[in-house]
Structures are given as C-alpha cells and as structure tokens.
Amino acid sequence: MIKYLKLGLLSLLSLAGLYFAFKGEDLGQLVLQLADVDLIFVTIACALLLFSCIIRAYRWKLLLYPFDKVQLKSVYSATMIGYFGNAIFAFRLGELLKAYSVIKGTRIKTLQAFGTVIIERLLDVIALVIIFIFLIPWFPFDDDYIRYGLISFMLISFLSIAIIYAFIRFELVKNFENKKWLLSGFGLKLKIAIVHLFDGLNVIKKNEAFYQILISSILLWGIYFIETIFLVKACGLNLEIIEIGILFVLGSIAFGIPALPGSAGTYDAGVKYSLMFAFNISSTKALNYAIISHSVAYFPLLIIGFIYFLSGNIRFNEIKKIRINK
C-alpha cells in the first residue's frame, strides 16, 4: 500500500512538473527552437556523456576492488544496466539492479556492492557541493525560487554526508549488533542489511586507490561540465562560463528531485525556471534547453543500457527476487 502511495506521489510531482514546464508555451515556437538546435554540438555532448560512463565505471571498479577484482567491461555493463533501470523503474531501482548485475560471478555480496553504489552517490554530492561553494559569489540568491531550493539542497546534502561520515568514522554500525529487537524477524534482516551496507561503505576508508578515485571523480565532473557547455551552445544560449557553471549546478539538483523514472517533468520545470529566473532567458528558449539536455541525458543511456540488459541475460522477473540481506 505504501509503495503505491509513493508511486502516486511521484506521479503527481512529475505531472505537476510537466504542467508547469509547458504552461503557456507556444508549441509552434518551441518546435522551431528544437529544429534550430545545433546537432553537431548535441552529438559531441552525447559522446562526452558516454565517455563519462567509462570513467564512472572505472571509479566504481576501484571502489569494488577491496571485495573482489572485477573486470572493467563487467563494471561498465552493470553501470549501463543501472542507468537503464533508473530510466524505466520508479524509486531509483536501477541502483539496486546495478549492484545485482555486477556481483554475478564474483565473491561480492549484494549489499557490499550496493554500499559502493551509495559511496558513488556520496562522492557525487560532495563534488556538487564543492562546485556550488566555489560559485557562491556569483549565485543569484536574490531570487526566492533559487534561494530556497539551494538552501534545501545544502541542508540535505550536509546532513546526509555528516550521518554517513559519522557511521564510517566512529564505526557506529557496531551499536546495532547486540540489540534484542535485531535478533529475529524483520529486525534481523535490518541488522544484516546495515552491517553489510557499512562493510561496503568502509571501503572509502580502507581503499588503497584513494587518489585514483579522487582523480577519476574530478575528471568525471569535468566531463559533465564540458558536456553542459556544448549543450548550451547547441541551444544558442548566450551564457558566460560562470553562468554555465551555475546552470550546471541547478540542473544537477533538478535531476535529484523525486519524480517518475528519468526525472520526468521535474527536471524540465526545474531547469526551465532556473534559466528564466537566474538569467532572464525567454520561456521558450529555456524549455528548449531543458528538453534537449534531458533527452541527451536520457535516451542514449536508455538505449545502450537496454542492449546491455538484454546481453546480460537478466529477466524482469529476476528483479523482483533481488535481496539486499545477503
């Protein structure tokens, strides 16, 4: 029941996002804007996105190394399958599918793999926070929409990072091991999940490839930023490099807004109004960029991920059987 309520809420958020994204738009003008996009720049952006997937897979391979040696091609395949899962399943189940895919033929436990997936997201949040802090002097905080959105993002980010850091630094997971309510039934499953999860998370403290992980993270986000530059140019937006950086942060936050698979609606509305309020871009041009950037981030990963999903011999009924307690 709760699952369906959550799905209903996500559906409402996505529908609201789509409504506000297209509200008052002249569809004829929008079609003309879309037809005028520079396809060469769009193609370069797609190529950069796919290259970034290799870098992301390499970083994940480094995170998995303490548990088992996994070939890069296997990690890349699991990465693309995860993108495919996130593109079609709600609740970001692609992350669990990604962890499940990579452990086949290895000694890695599901939750150890899932723990490294969480580390990946943690590293991404840290990178985004660092970029945001660097750009603070130029952010348009006078706009209420942007100010409240950024404050919410920062509070959630710092709280999440602090909690995870505390668990890793002070090994708080040990406090769960002898609790009576965690010795049977659901409590036992929860304990097993927490213990295995932080086995995975402790990799960030023990990993010998720390600097390789750091460099790959910098390279990954550098590629994302360059991709954004090409998309801005493709859509004919006249933005300075600092303004592109601000758009880059706001767009990344928009992707994190809860919604149906692929951030349907919420991303488009978030990016459209960010461009309008922060840079006085016209409504149609702003929506044009939102649609193009969303399409570039969605369809290549959906298509290639689907190919890897089929070649990985994973069936949809297997997904329902995935367990994270072992």
Nearest to 264, CA basis, from 5, 20, 4:
20
Higher pLDDT, 278 or 110: 278
How far CA 312 is from CA of 81, 87, 155, 203, 306, in Å, comes to 9, 17, 39, 27, 10
The pLDDT of residue 314 is 72
Q: Which two tokens stand for residue 6?
A: 């959550």
At residue 207, the 3 state secondary structure works out as coil
210-242 pLDDT, tens per residue?
A: 889 999 999 999 999 999 999 999 999 999 999
Q: In residues, how long is the chain?
A: 326
Q: Is residue 1 part of a domain?
A: no
Write the CB contacts of 121 (distance below 8 Å, at least 6 apart in sequence).
95
**pLDDT grade, residue 318 (50/70/90)?**
low
pLDDT band at 112 (very low <50, low <70, confident <90, very high): confident
CB neighbours of 213 closer than 8 A, spacing ≥ 6?
A: 59, 62, 63, 123, 207
Candidate from 8-22, 70-84, 154-168, 260-274 with smallest mean pLDDT: 154-168
d(CA 21, CA 284): 10
pLDDT of residue 152: 74
Count CA atoms within 13 Å of residue 129 on its CB side.
17
Give the whole-angstrom CA distance, residue 42 versus residue 197: 39
Specify the DSSP class assigned to residue 36.
T
Residue 47 covered by a domain? yes
pTM: 0.86
324 domain residue, yes or no: no
Q: Please state, as a whole number, how many other Cβ atoms lie within 10 Å of the Cβ of residue 291.
A: 21
| Selection from 23, 114, 116 nearest residue 66 by Cα | 116
- Residue 6 included in any domain: no
132 belongs to a structural domain: yes
At 263 the pLDDT is 87
Q: Does residue 160 lie within any of the structural domains?
A: yes
Distances (CA, A) of 302 to 48, 57, 85, 114, 244: 16, 16, 8, 21, 26
Q: Encoding tokens for residue 8?
A: 């209903």
Q: Does the residue 238 lie in any domain?
A: yes
d(CA 143, CA 103) in angstroms, rounded, equals: 46
In whole angstroms, give the CA distance from residue 189 to residue 260.
Answer: 28
| CA 315/CA 321 separation, integer angstroms | 10
Taking a C-beta distance cutoff of 8 angstroms, is the pair 302, 84 a contact? yes
Q: Which domain holds residue 145?
A: 14-319
Is 62 within the bounds of a domain?
yes
- Specify the pLDDT at position 325: 47
Q: Per the structure, how many domains does the chain have? A: 1
* Amino acid letter, 113: A
Q: What integer pLDDT is reported at residue 26 of this predicted model?
A: 93
